[in-house]
């Protein structure tokens, strides 16, 4: 059977007491698998379990043979510098008899553990910035509803749950190592049933939090289309194309010639957990490599009308949009803001009818407000 180790391997006083208790219950240690210990069942009997702290990592046959001659049998390795021995003869001297000698080796391990915890804590700073925070700061998300549609609203709780588990484990590890350095290991009074249950509860909560993080990651992954046949001919797109909106505009070029003459002219099925959509991307460059126009259109069928309305109003408010009239649409907004280089402006048309949203983004020489009739139902 497998049991989760209730203490850290370096908490040898508590771990020894716990292993002794397991032997009295008929559970005897046979192997170690990281934090999981494998036991076998036999008749309950008193058995001393002791942990040898080795000055150097690795298996030492001479050390094992010397302890065997003393009456101690090697069981398994808990870590590269910690070995478990057992003895059923109460008359055999204990494996560790000098507190100072034990701590002289153990404290070196604990200092390394605390240093590793400090380094891991410092790594939390770039994790917090680059993982949960930076994508929001550098992304196109305009707010909560946009993140909900894009899937990041599901990803963020997963990242925060991992962060909380990581930080809690670091704090616990630092405090446990500090307390272990201060304790008298040979007294073996630290282990209590109450402390074991408390740590088991913490482990269960950590596993539950990680399971919740996995569920959030699954929801986030479902927010992105994974279909291999999602692209289709732009001529079959059901909404207005750039040449239908602006008949005098040059049509997109075929994808040939130098890179700066290539045109992104494609349509694809988009969507995710809370919406299905069809998207169109059309872009044309001039001969000098400057973009002549950018035309993006998304038709979204959002599962919940409140989400559709929130998304449209959020987009309009973030970009100083104003209400316009488009036949057949209960709500319509037109937004304008300068491009990144300041030489042009983006124009965005947002159309809302229940759970249906059309989102049109255009940058080019024409005025989108003069072509609103093209988008009438």
> What are the pLDDT digits (tens) for 135-180?
555 556 777 788 778 776 677 788 788 888 888 888 888 888 888 8
Q: Inter-axis angle of helices 152-182 and 99-128, to 10 degrees?
A: 160
Give, as one character, the DSSP assignment of residue 253.
Answer: P
Burial of 148 (0-12, 13-18, 19+ CB in 10 A): buried
So what's the pLDDT on residue 160? 80
Query: How many Å apart are CA 18 and CA 62, to the nearest integer?
Result: 28
* Of 316, 297, 314, the residue nearest 362 (C-alpha): 297
Look up tokens 């929001």; give the residue. 136
Identify how many contiguous H helices and E strands the chain contains and give both numbers.
9, 14
| HSE, side-chain direction, 13 A CA sphere, residue 53 | 23
Look up tokens 């994790």; give the residue. 127
So what's the pLDDT on residue 132? 55
- pTM to 2 decimals? 0.58
φ and ψ at residue 217, rounded to 5 degrees: -65, -35
- pLDDT over 50 (residue 257): no
So what's the pLDDT on residue 128? 64
Helices (H), the chain: 12-24, 61-70, 99-128, 134-138, 144-150, 152-182, 193-221, 242-245, 305-318
- pLDDT over 80 (residue 251): no
Of 33 and 57, the one with more pLDDT: 33
So what's the pLDDT on residue 227? 43
The dihedral through the CA atoms of 92, 98, 99, 102 has a sign that is negative
Q: Inter-axis angle of helices 152-182 and 193-221, to 10 degrees?
A: 160
Class of CATH domain 231-375 = alpha beta
So what's the pLDDT on residue 188? 83
Domain ranges of the chain: 2-87, 99-221, 231-375
Give percent above pLDDT 70 in the chain.
88
User: What would the two tokens of residue 195 be?
Assistant: 């402390």
């Amino acid at each position: 059977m497998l049991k989760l180790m209730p203490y850290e391997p370096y908490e040898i006083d508590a771990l020894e007491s716990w292993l002794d208790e397991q032997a009295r219950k008929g559970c005897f240690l046979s192997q170690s698998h990281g934090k999981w210990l494998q036991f076998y069942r036999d008749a309950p009997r008193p058995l001393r379990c002791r942990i040898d702290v080795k000055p150097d990592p690795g298996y030492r046959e001479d050390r094992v043979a010397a302890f065997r001659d003393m009456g101690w049998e090697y069981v398994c390795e808990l870590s590269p510098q910690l070995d478990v021995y057992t003895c059923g003869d109460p008359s055999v001297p204990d494996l560790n008899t000098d507190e100072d000698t034990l701590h002289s080796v153990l404290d070196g391990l604990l200092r390394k553990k605390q240093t590793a915890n400090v380094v891991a804590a410092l790594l939390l700073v770039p994790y917090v910035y680059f993982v949960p925070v930076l994508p929001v700061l550098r992304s196109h998300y305009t707010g909560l509803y946009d993140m909900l549609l894009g899937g990041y609203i599901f990803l963020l709780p997963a990242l925060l749950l991992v962060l909380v588990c990581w930080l809690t484990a670091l704090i616990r590890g630092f405090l446990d190592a500090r307390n272990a350095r201060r304790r008298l290991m040979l007294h073996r009074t630290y282990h209590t049933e109450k402390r074991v249950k408390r740590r088991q509860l913490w482990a269960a909560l950590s596993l539950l939090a990680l399971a919740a993080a996995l569920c959030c990651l699954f929801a986030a992954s479902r927010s992105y289309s994974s279909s291999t046949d999602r692209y289709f001919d732009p001529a079959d797109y059901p909404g207005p194309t750039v040449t239908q909106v602006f008949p005098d505009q040059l049509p997109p070029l075929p994808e040939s010639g130098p890179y700066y003459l290539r045109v992104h002219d494609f349509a694809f099925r988009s969507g995710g957990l809370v919406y299905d959509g069809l998207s169109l991307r059309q872009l044309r460059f001039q001969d000098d490599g400057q973009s002549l126009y950018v035309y993006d259109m998304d038709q979204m069928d959002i599962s919940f009308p409140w989400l559709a309305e929130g998304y449209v109003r959020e987009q309009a408010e973030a970009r100083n949009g104003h209400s316009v009239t488009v036949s057949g649409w209960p709500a319509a907004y037109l937004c304008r803001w300068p491009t990144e280089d300041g030489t042009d402006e983006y124009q965005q048309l947002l159309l809302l009818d229940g759970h249906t949203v059309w989102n049109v983004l255009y940058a080019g020489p024409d005025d989108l407000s003069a072509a609103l009739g093209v988008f009438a139902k």
